[in-house]
Amino acid sequence: MALTLCGRARRLVSATSIYNHGCLQRLQQTGSDRFQLGEAKAIRLLPRRTNMVQELGSREEFMQENIDTETSYDFLDEMRQRFLKFKRQKYLPQIEKFQALAIAQSPKVMVIGCADSRVCPSYVLGFQPGEAFTIRNVANLITPIQNGPTETNSALEFAVTTLQVENIIVMGHSNCGGIAALMNHQNHLEQPSSLVERWVMNGKAAKLRTQEVSSHLSFDEQCRNCEKESIKDSVMNLITYPWIRDRVKRGEVKIHGCYYNLSDCSLEKWRLSSDKNSNEFYVSNREIWS
């Protein structure tokens, strides 16, 4: 199958080809592990970027090639170790569960979290494979329907209408770089210069509310407030999608907001409720876990 893979991918790791005796022995020892690292091949896969690296002269090029080879080898080995650890500790011991999941997923929860390396929702909230459909973007922002299609609302559409999740959690966090960029952006009238600024400007309303009430606080404290206000806005933007709003009104979907504070490892959590009489939405059931 590897050989017929389309076009222009140079395969670093072979699934089934065995190159020398050393590799074959490893295959036998590790049984069904398909993730094989052929050392001979990795070294022979000389720097893929030589066509782009400028010609520095023969000696430098040789040194560069060796450095690249080492980096390439380390990366492969690291990925291999990581995957095999997952396979040995989680996948194989729960093989029946994974086989059932392979047929279909039916998560009850959808999480919209930040792409920040410190706040993986499955890590912090303990979701196991199959439990939570997860969207991660910068500053866990959800734009309203009137802004048009984005990668976030396409994932919302899939999770709510196809997978029919029952709970939506918007999870924000402290020390968010995206919110800091939003708070730092000086002039709202100017066209944002970077992609980050263009995206985080979707949180402009949260920033304005924050500045109205907490401009006397330090920048960091204002950012903390804005992070929470932004979660609320994202939650309210969920309701602009009729297929979410209808399901919330019918009680088929519950919406929750969460704020994870990295400094003290606390989680503030609340729910969105709707008033049956007035069609308004409001925050309820606020609690803090720490």
Partner 1 sequence: MSTESYEDALKKLGELLSKKSDLGKVALAKIQKLTAELEELNSNKSSDAVERIKSGFIHFKTHKYLKKPSLYNALAKGQSPKFLVFACSDSRVSPTQILNFKAGEAFVVRNIANMVPPFDKTQHSGVGAALEFPVTALHVENILVIGHSRCGGIKGLMSIEDNAAPSKNVFIDNWVQIGTPAKNMIKQDFKHLSFTDQCSYCEKEAVNVSLRNLLSYPFVKERVMKNKLAIRGAHYDFVKGTFDLWELDLKAKSNPAFSFS
Q: Considering only residues 211-250, where is the footprint of partner 1 by CB under 8 A? A: none
Nearer to partner 1, 181 or 225 (CB): 181
With binding defined as CB under 8 A, does residue 73 bind partner 1?
no
Q: Known binder of ligand: residue 77?
A: no
Residue where the block lists tokens 């396409």: 154
Using an 8 Å Cβ cutoff, are 77 and 37 in contact?
A: yes
Q: Known binder of ligand: residue 216?
A: no
Using an 8 Å Cβ cutoff, are 255 and 238 in contact?
A: yes
Identified binder of partner 1 from the candidate list 205, 262, 268, 274, rule CB under 8 A: 262
Q: How far is the CB of 286 from partner 1 (least distance, A)?
A: 12
Identified binder of partner 1 from the candidate list 125, 183, 231, 248, rule CB under 8 A: 125
Whether the CA torsion 167, 173, 179, 183 is positive or negative: it is positive
Q: Which two tokens stand for residue 122?
A: 């499955």
Q: Quick one: which H or E segment has residue 41?
A: helix 39-44
Residue where the block lists tokens 């439990």: 131
Three-class secondary structure of residue 271 per DSSP: strand
Q: Known binder of ligand: residue 176?
A: yes
Q: How far is the CB of 229 from partner 1 (least distance, A)?
A: 19
Using an 8 Å Cβ cutoff, are 257 and 167 in contact?
A: no
With binding defined as CB under 8 A, does residue 283 bind partner 1?
no
Identified binder of partner 1 from the candidate list 30, 122, 211, 214, rule CB under 8 A: 122
Residue count, binding to partner 1 (CB under 8 A): 111
**Rounded CA separation 14/11 (Å):** 7
Three-class secondary structure of residue 175 per DSSP: coil
- Of 55-63, 170-178, 211-219, 232-240, which part binds partner 1 (CB under 8 A)? 170-178
Q: How far is the CB of 220 from partner 1 (least distance, A)?
A: 11
Q: Which two tokens stand for residue 285?
A: 């059931």
Q: Who's near 194: CB < 8 A, 6+ residues apart?
A: none
Which 179-218 positions form the footprint of partner 1 (CB under 8 A)?
A: 181, 194-196, 198-200
Which 76-95 positions form the footprint of partner 1 (CB under 8 A)?
A: 76, 79, 82-83, 85-87, 90-92, 95
Letters for 22-61 (x = contact with partner 1 by CB under 8 A, - = none) are ----------x-xx----xx--xx--xx-xxx--------
Using an 8 Å Cβ cutoff, are 246 and 235 in contact?
A: no
Which 131-150 positions form the footprint of partner 1 (CB under 8 A)?
A: 131-138, 141, 149-150
Nearer to partner 1, 184 or 213 (CB): 184
**Rounded CA separation 59/121 (Å):** 48
With binding defined as CB under 8 A, does residue 101 bind partner 1?
yes
